[in-house]
């Protein structure tokens, strides 16, 4: 087990390295990016204190050095000083912008995952056991629609309906009066009143996907010999289900930790923008509108790394529940 985990962690290192290269490329990509523009403007003005300013920037990002040195400088700043660079759009360090927002993004992603599991698990089992029943067709159709409707369109429809039907403006994570207040119980309750909307909207997509996976695996497992053997033992139908096919069909749930995260980061970005949440997605958008790439690169790097960690966790959990993974023998099935 320990050696499995070590092996798995070692495999993560090149992955995160490649992500960081990709993030760096993104930062370097736009020809007319914010920093270049800014420096050009400063140079044109030709004032003395601007020269100092220019030198400070050039020094800071190693702009006079070759590319790989710039990369090294950038990555060492991040690794050792958690310095992700500067965002001109916000006039703050990237760390400041992201730190205050990534927490909400993660919270929404995690709770969406929980929502997804709690809803998809029983429905997935039920639908597989009652294959070809009305409930099966209903959820299959719902699943198709859930998969086809992206979160942000759903968010728009929800906002429209709640505004025109109930006069409620959905959006944000806090009511206006709490926005700038320090944390308090009342503020927390206010947060709960708002945060469930993005959680549900994001969760619906994942739920649709997971019900389909769950149904397929369950149907596969239900056909297996050991289910019949378990019935022949005299176990009640519920116990047969829970102790046998569900034990294996639960595996995709655990793997989902690996792919739900990128999914929520991905779909979540646009949903967050539509709902105007104080999360990382809208910050990314605003930065990108001004081709302010440091924030974008950092976002890719951070979310990519989080995803890598997520899939590490789900692989470890998978090894815990599935001995075949642990013993490195999957040929049995």
Site for other proteins in 115-174 (CB under 8 A): 144-145, 147-150, 152-153, 156-157, 159-160, 163-164, 169, 171
Q: Report how far residue 151's alpha carbon sits from residue 223's, in angstroms, rounded to the nearest whole number.
A: 35
Is the Cβ–Cβ distance between 209 and 147 less than 8 Å?
Answer: yes
Q: How far is CA 306 from each of CA 124, 137, 210, 239, 313, rounded to the nearest angstrom?
A: 28, 36, 21, 37, 10
Among residues 54 and 153, whose Cβ is nearest to other proteins?
153
Neighbours of 136 (CB within 10 A): 16
Q: What are the backbone dihedrals phi and psi of residue 87, each rounded to the nearest 5 degrees, phi first?
A: -110, 120
Q: What is the DSSP string of 105-117?
A: HHHHHHHHHHHHH
Strands, E assignment, 94-211 = none
Is 194:297 a contact under the CB 8 Å cutoff?
Answer: no
Q: Please state the closest distance from residue 55 (CB atom) to other proteins, in A.
A: 27
Number of residues near other proteins (by CB under 8 A): 78
SS3 content of the chain, % helix, strand, coil (to 5): 80, 0, 20
Q: Which is nearer to other proteins, 1 or 52 (CB)?
A: 1
**Candidate list 219, 226, 278, 317; residue touching other proteins; CB under 8 A:** 226
Which residue, 109 or 195, is less far from other proteins as judged by CB? 109
Token reading at 204 = 């619906």
Can you spell out the DSSP letters for 187-201? Answer: HHHHHHHHHHHHHHH
Q: Which of 262, 283, 314, 315 binds other proteins (CB under 8 A)?
A: 262
Cβ proximity to other proteins: between 120 and 208 the closer is 208
Comparing CB distances to other proteins, the nearer of 144 and 188 is 144
CB of 304 to other proteins, least distance (A): 5
CB nearer other proteins, residue 91 or residue 333: 333
Kindly tell me which of 32 and 66 has the beta carbon lying closer to other proteins: 32
32-71 binders of other proteins (CB under 8 A): 32-33
Q: How many residues are listed for the chain in this entry?
A: 333
Q: Under the criterion CB under 8 A, does residue 297 sit at the interface with other proteins? A: yes
**Contact flag: residue 210 with other proteins (CB under 8 A):** no
Among 94, 281, 294, 316, binds other proteins (CB under 8 A): 281
The CA R_g of the chain, rounded to the nearest whole Å, is 24
333 binds other proteins (CB under 8 A): yes
Considering only the stretches 18-26, 42-50, 57-65, 114-122, report the one whose residues sit in contact with other proteins under the rule CB under 8 A. 18-26
């Amino acid at each position: 087990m320990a050696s499995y985990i070590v092996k798995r962690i070692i495999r993560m290192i090149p992955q995160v390295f490649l992500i960081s290269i990709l993030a760096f490329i993104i930062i370097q990509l736009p020809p007319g990016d914010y920093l270049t523009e800014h420096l050009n403007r400063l140079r044109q003005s030709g004032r003395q204190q601007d020269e100092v300013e220019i030198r400070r920037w050039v020094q800071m990002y190693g702009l006079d050095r070759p590319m790989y040195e710039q990369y090294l400088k950038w990555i060492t700043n991040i690794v050792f000083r958690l310095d992700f660079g500067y965002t001109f759009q916000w006039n703050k360090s990237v760390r400041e912008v992201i730190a205050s927002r990534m927490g909400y993004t993660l919270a929404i992603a995690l709770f969406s995952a929980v929502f997804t599991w709690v809803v998809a698990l029983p429905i997935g089992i039920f639908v597989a056991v009652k294959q070809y029943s009305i409930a099966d067709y209903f959820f299959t159709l719902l699943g198709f629609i859930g998969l086809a409707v992206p979160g942000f369109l759903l968010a728009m429809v929800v906002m429209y309906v709640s505004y025109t039907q109930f006069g409620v403006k959905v959006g944000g994570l806090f009511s206006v009066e709490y926005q700038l207040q320090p944390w308090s119980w009342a503020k927390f309750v206010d947060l709960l009143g708002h945060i469930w909307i993005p959680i549900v909207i994001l969760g619906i997509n994942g739920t649709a996907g997971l019900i389909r996976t769950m149904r397929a695996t369950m149907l596969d497992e239900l056909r297996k010999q050991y289910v019949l053997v378990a019935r022949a033992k005299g176990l009640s139908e519920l116990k047969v289900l829970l102790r046998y096919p569900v034990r294996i069909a639960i595996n995709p749930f655990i793997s989902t930790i690996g792919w739900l995260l990128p999914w929520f980061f991905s779909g979540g970005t646009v949903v967050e923008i539509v709902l105007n949440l104080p999360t990382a997605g809208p910050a990314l958008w605003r930065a990108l509108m001004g081709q302010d790439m440091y924030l974008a690169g950092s976002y890719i790097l951070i979310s990519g790394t989080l995803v890598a960690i997520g899939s590490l966790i789900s692989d470890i959990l998978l090894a815990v529940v599935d001995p075949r993974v642990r013993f490195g023998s999957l040929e049995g099935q």
